[in-house]
Chain A
Amino acid sequence: MTKNVMIVGVGGQGTLLASKLLGRVLTGRGYDVKVSEVHGMSQRGGSVVTYVRFGERVYSPVIDRGEADAIISFELLEAARWLEYLKPGGQIVVNTQKLEPMPVIIGAAQYPEDIAAKLAAAGAKVDAEDFLALAEKAGSTKTVNIALMGRFSRYLPEIPESVWHDAIRASVPPKFIDMNLRAFDLGR
């Protein structure tokens, strides 16, 4: 059975390292894996999405509406945007940070209120936390991506914690390893 995980956020938030880490963990466990994202224009502060699929044999590189087992969202509004892609009853791990998009900044649109509660009311399992604060505690707000992955790792019980730790060691520069391991553990 192919499993589908989406990593969503805002261009520049570090979603790329998160998908790299997940890809490394899954490949190491012997799964067939596909990781897909769009480069280019959207990186300039736009909404970004990475599709990660794994299983015995993966065909399509993308995840479609109603197919995602889990969504890892780096920002609150982005979780709302991609909700449609979640399977009924699927898991959302969401950072409660709010980044206002340009239409909100210029007053042309409203940033919705109580997003986490509305996601849950729509049937999603929601795990919301201020991962930015956890990252800061770990040593740098830049580790927010690893803190989020730490929390997500709870929902992949088949993968031992040590595998994640090894993948982090292999994915970040040596001088940042300890800080990222801290962020992962705080998130988990």
Chain B
Amino acid sequence: MKQLMLGNAAVARGLYEAGVKVISSYPGTPSTEITEEAAKFPEIYCEWAPNEKVALEAAHGATLGGVRAACAMKHVGLNVAADPLFTISYQGVNAGLVICVADDPGMHSSQNEQDSRHYAEAAKAPMLEPSDSEEARVFTKRAFELSEQFNTPVFIRMCTRVAHSQSLTDTAERVVPEQVPYVKDPMKVMMTVASRKAHARVEERTRALVEFAETTDLNRVEMGGTAVGIVTSSTSYQYAREVFGEDASVLKLGLTWPLPEKLLRDFAARVDRLIVLEELDPVIEKHCRALGLRVEGKSLFPVCGEFSQNLVRERMGLPVPAGARFPEEVPARPPVMCAGCPHRGVFYVLKKLCCMVYGDIGCYTLGAVAPLNAMDLNVCMGASCSGLHGFNLAMGREGEKHSVGVIGDSTFIHSGMTGICDIAYNATNSTVIILDNSITGMTGHQQNPTTGKNLRGEPAAKVDLEALCRALGFNRVRVVDPYDLAATERAVREELAAEEPGIIISRRPCVMIKGTVHKPPLAPDTEKCAGCRACMTVGCPAISIHEKKVRVDPTLCVGCGVCTQLCRFSALEVTGND
């Protein structure tokens, strides 16, 4: 019987049915559930790797060892994994290798909306794009067949709306191929001679894949009215069918690299007006133009943001449904740091000291929003350390005395270590704060090498952050409790003043971790409250002021006591024990 299944869970189901033995991934929205769901099958070994480059290398290593393997990552993670990707494409695989990459058009939970299809073309590795959960399951299995048939890594490209939508999905039995023996082959050593031969093989492979693209049922033509013919893939296919029904013809591409030639020409010849409907960059459109086809695409539809049925209707000049607007302005409800979040105290101190804060990727990016507004910069995983180093090289003492980098524990392991190594080795007096909350928070609580637990929650080797920072060349490494505002402030002041680089580890588990013991919620003493709003400066969602008196939401407050330290009238005293 068909089940309602999340797109990412359907990819995991496909990995299971394909007989995959090893999955190594790094979490990242909207890709995370692929690995989490796969880990529910005891037959598959699943791990969180320190970063995506490590994940891809580990998965590829497993295929060289002869078993089917996969990795999953978000679009920006593929940048990190790009180095091995290009040469793995040359070296090939021993058993099938599938890279699941999830793009985020609209940037629901990302810092950019890059288009991963460029990587398929650049690395010359085929890319399959499902448009719903059933296709996600089936295409994942097909990807392994392709990988082995053409001796290449193969991409499954998801996007937010396919990854995070549930639709009806079939299931099938798991079939595990026999382990492929490992045989030593000098042509697997990617040096000049072997690499030159491998490159020639890759070009040959691409020609064969183009032939394959012409006839594979991964691409299909759905003829309807011929006034308009739409070439599309992924979730855009769903919008096309939603809007046009049978009124238009559709060429649905399941294989978006390499693209067919004859199939496109034939389809173009059968319709009056050829339109490419694709989110993000004009990849298919450019290909059509290179074939000399008359085509419309980005002249109608935007490069920025995600599509929807109304956007397609509007740009095609069709009637667009409209609803009534609420008659007055509706206040925004941006995400906020949770009540009791250990990051809050650190950002409060950094704001108080007017620091230039180079942030990073994680929950703590929320330190940038009002009322804390305590983040100046952020770019990508790890840039808080290396970017700060460069900033201080330019700013000199002025920078070193007022600027800090802020990075979470998982992000630090992912890409921060090399950055602080640069700080110590090339000697700027930079100060980096590691926000160690014992979990990978933003992506929904995954374990990482600093938590002492593996993906399955079993005890595992635990990185000693203090020892690691010392080993990387730091003499000044200290630990503070971010709930203690005075101690945190002292630590930041002293490290900024010190004449050598320093690391502050702000250590407190995330309040949302299961099993974290909370103190009882604060019961404010409204008699004592002077309505001065000092407690409001930390932006805690549990605190509000009504009729000039503080109110604490007992369903949110965990009794962290940060606001207690701000109240000069003792109106917010902690009552419970730690």
- A139 CB contacts on chain B under 8 angstroms: none
Segment among A80-88, A145-153, A158-166, A174-182 that sits at the interface with chain B = A80-88
Per the bound structure, the CA–CA distance linking A83 and B239 in Å amounts to 22
Q: Is the CB of A119 within 8 A of B326?
A: yes
Q: A39-B30, A42-B335, A59-B242 are in contact. Are A108 and B370 (CB under 8 A)?
A: yes
- A60 CB contacts on chain B under 8 angstroms: 235, 238-239, 242, 308-309
- B239 CB contacts on chain A under 8 angstroms: 59-60
Question: Lowest 5 CB-CB distances: which A-B pairs, in order?
Answer: A40-B109, A66-B321, A46-B335, A40-B29, A109-B331
Show 19 residue pairs from A and B whose CB-CB distance is below 8 angstroms, ordered by the A residue.
Answer: A34-B132, A35-B166, A38-B164, A40-B108, A44-B336, A45-B333, A45-B541, A61-B132, A61-B235, A64-B310, A68-B323, A77-B331, A78-B333, A81-B333, A103-B331, A106-B370, A111-B331, A118-B328, A124-B324
Q: Number of B residues contacting the other chain (C-beta, 8 Å)? A: 59
Question: CB of B332 within 8 A of chain A?
Answer: yes
Per the bound structure, the CA–CA distance linking A58 and B109 in Å amounts to 26
Question: CB of B371 within 8 A of chain A?
Answer: yes
Q: Is the CB of A46 within 8 A of B309?
A: no
Question: CB of B517 within 8 A of chain A?
Answer: no
- A87 CB contacts on chain B under 8 angstroms: 321, 323
Per the bound structure, the CA–CA distance linking A32 and B108 in Å amounts to 26
Q: Is the CB of A61 within 8 A of B326?
A: no
Most chain A CB neighbours (cut-off 10 Å) among B108, B162, B326: B326
- A41 CB contacts on chain B under 8 angstroms: 29, 108-109, 335, 442
Question: CB of B42 within 8 A of chain A?
Answer: no
Question: CB of B167 within 8 A of chain A?
Answer: yes
Per the bound structure, the CA–CA distance linking A77 and B329 in Å amounts to 11
Question: CB of B77 within 8 A of chain A?
Answer: no
Identify the A interface with B (CB < 8 A): 10-11, 23-24, 27, 32-47, 58-62, 64-68, 77-78, 80-81, 83-88, 90, 100-106, 108-112, 118-119, 121-124, 141
Per the bound structure, the CA–CA distance linking A83 and B325 in Å amounts to 6
Most chain A CB neighbours (cut-off 10 Å) among B164, B333, B335: B333
Q: Is the CB of A32 within 8 A of B160?
A: no
Q: Is the CB of B161 within 8 A of A104?
A: no
Q: Mark B161-202, 1 if CB is under 8 A from A, else 0.
A: 110111110000000000000000000000000000000000
Q: A34-B167, A61-B238, A64-B308 are in contact. Are A46 and B323 (CB under 8 A)?
A: no
Q: A10-B333, A77-B331 are in contact. Are A122 and B326 (CB under 8 A)?
A: yes
Q: Is the CB of B323 within 8 A of A66?
A: yes
Q: A46-B333, A80-B326, A110-B331 are in contact. Are A33 and B363 (CB under 8 A)?
A: no
Q: Is the interface of B mostly helix, strand, loop or mixed?
A: loop
- B330 CB contacts on chain A under 8 angstroms: 77, 80-81, 112
- A10 CB contacts on chain B under 8 angstroms: 333
Per the bound structure, the CA–CA distance linking A122 and B241 in Å amounts to 31
Q: Is the CB of A122 within 8 A of B539?
A: no
Q: Is the CB of B161 within 8 A of A101?
A: no
- A35 CB contacts on chain B under 8 angstroms: 4, 165-167
Q: Mark B21-39, 1 if CB is under 8 A from A, else 0.
A: 0000000011011000000
Give chain B interface residues in 520-548, CB to chain A under 8 Å. Answer: 536, 539, 541, 543-544
State how many angstroms separate the Cβ of B308 from the closest Cβ of chain A.
5
Q: Is the CB of B242 within 8 A of A101?
A: no
State how many angstroms separate the Cβ of A5 from the closest Cβ of chain B.
14
Question: CB of B337 within 8 A of chain A?
Answer: yes
Question: CB of B467 within 8 A of chain A?
Answer: no
Per the bound structure, the CA–CA distance linking A34 and B338 in Å amounts to 31
State how many angstroms separate the Cβ of B276 from the closest Cβ of chain A.
18
Per the bound structure, the CA–CA distance linking A10 and B327 in Å amounts to 21
- A27 CB contacts on chain B under 8 angstroms: 2-4, 168
State how many angstroms separate the Cβ of B547 from the closest Cβ of chain A.
13
Q: Mark B80-109, 1 if CB is under 8 A from A, else 0.
A: 000000000000000000000000000011
Per the bound structure, the CA–CA distance linking A45 and B308 in Å amounts to 25
Q: Which residue of chain B has the shortest Cβ distance to A75 in the bound complex? A: B333
State how many angstroms separate the Cβ of B360 from the closest Cβ of chain A.
15
- B322 CB contacts on chain A under 8 angstroms: 65-66, 84
State how many angstroms separate the Cβ of B30 from the closest Cβ of chain A.
7
Per the bound structure, the CA–CA distance linking A65 and B442 in Å amounts to 29
Q: Which residue of chain A has the shortest Cβ distance to B324 in the bound complex? A: A122
Per the bound structure, the CA–CA distance linking A87 and B321 in Å amounts to 8
Most chain B CB neighbours (cut-off 10 Å) among A60, A87, A104: A60
- A100 CB contacts on chain B under 8 angstroms: 544
- B242 CB contacts on chain A under 8 angstroms: 59-60
State how many angstroms separate the Cβ of B194 from the closest Cβ of chain A.
42
Per the bound structure, the CA–CA distance linking A27 and B1 in Å amounts to 10
Question: CB of B366 within 8 A of chain A?
Answer: yes
- A68 CB contacts on chain B under 8 angstroms: 323
- B325 CB contacts on chain A under 8 angstroms: 83-84, 122
Q: Is the CB of A24 within 8 A of B4?
A: yes
State how many angstroms separate the Cβ of A77 from the closest Cβ of chain B.
7
State how many angstroms separate the Cβ of A67 from the closest Cβ of chain B.
6
Give chain B interface residues in 272-327, CB to chain A under 8 Å. Answer: 308-310, 320-327
Question: CB of B206 within 8 A of chain A?
Answer: no
Per the bound structure, the CA–CA distance linking A118 and B162 in Å amounts to 36
Q: Is the CB of B309 within 8 A of A85?
A: no
Per the bound structure, the CA–CA distance linking A85 and B325 in Å amounts to 9
Q: Is the CB of B168 within 8 A of A46?
A: no
Q: Is the CB of B335 within 8 A of A61?
A: no
- B241 CB contacts on chain A under 8 angstroms: 59
Q: Which residue of chain A has the shortest Cβ distance to B310 in the bound complex? A: A64
Per the bound structure, the CA–CA distance linking A66 and B370 in Å amounts to 32
Q: Is the CB of A101 within 8 A of B109?
A: no
- B168 CB contacts on chain A under 8 angstroms: 27, 32-33
Per the bound structure, the CA–CA distance linking A124 and B370 in Å amounts to 34
Per the bound structure, the CA–CA distance linking A61 and B366 in Å amounts to 29
Contact of A40 among B162, B331, B337, B442 (CB under 8 A): B442
- B442 CB contacts on chain A under 8 angstroms: 40-41
Question: CB of B396 within 8 A of chain A?
Answer: no
- A34 CB contacts on chain B under 8 angstroms: 132, 165-167
Q: Is the CB of B333 within 8 A of A44?
A: no
Q: Is the CB of B323 within 8 A of A84?
A: yes
Q: Is the CB of A36 within 8 A of B331?
A: no
Q: Which residue of chain B has the shortest Cβ distance to A101 in the bound complex? A: B333
Q: Is the CB of B310 within 8 A of A61?
A: no
Give chain B interface residues in 211-251, CB to chain A under 8 Å. Answer: 235, 238-239, 241-242
- B370 CB contacts on chain A under 8 angstroms: 102-103, 106, 108
- B238 CB contacts on chain A under 8 angstroms: 59-61
